[in-house]
Amino acid sequence: MNLAAKILVAVAFVALGTFTAVLLRPAPTAPEARFATLGGQSLMTSDLRGKVLAVNFWATWCPDCVAEMPKMAETYRKYGSQGYEMIAVAIQDHPNRVADFTQKKALPFKVAIDDTGEISKRFGDIRLTPTTFLIDRKGRVIKRFVGEPQWQEFDRLVEKALAEKG
């Protein structure tokens, strides 16, 4: 084998190794964060292991967030009895506005307020709303959605994660 062929083979092995490492890399674990819900619960991310979890960062002043809330509620109602949980984390918002919106829209899932910015920081310093993290039963991030999710994809990922037993 000549030198050029040896170099080509070596490059191919390095590329294959890199590609394989990327494909086999485990999904990142969701950060540990404490959520204080409007209902008075205090939950940690780890408390929700064993469930498929959506953590949605939103605000009452965000038109896209308000527009996606009916679909978020529908998704929760569809999968909630199967082990799906959701926490809507209001950021950069007034607690009274969040509570009023939650009550008027009869949001069926947990709502928390990130008044210190700590939850947002733990999830990567979230500044764009809506941003939603879908997390599997083992606490691994399946996907991060910036903006309203493509709902068919979101439902497909939720169903796949629910089918996988923790």
Tell me how far apart the terminal alpha carbons of the chain are, to the nearest angstrom: 50
- The pLDDT mean for the chain works out to 89
3-state SS, 94-137, equals CHHHHHHHHHHCCCCCEEEEECCCHHHHHCCCCCCCCEEEEECC
Q: Is the pLDDT of residue 63 over 90?
A: yes
Is there a contact between 131 and 146 (Cβ–Cβ < 8 Å)?
Answer: yes
The average pLDDT across 150-159 equals 97
pLDDT at 130 (0 to 100) = 98
* CATH hierarchy code of domain 27-163: 3.40.30.10
For the chain, the structural domain boundaries read 27-163
Using only the alpha carbons of the chain, give its radius of gyration.
20
Give residue-wise pLDDT tens across range 94-143: 999 999 999 999 999 999 999 999 999 999 999 999 999 999 999 999 99
pLDDT at 165 (0 to 100) = 79
Q: Is the pLDDT of residue 84 over 60?
A: yes
Q: Distance (Å, rounded) from C-alpha 75 to C-alpha 79?
A: 6
pTM of the model: 0.83
pLDDT at 23 (0 to 100) = 46
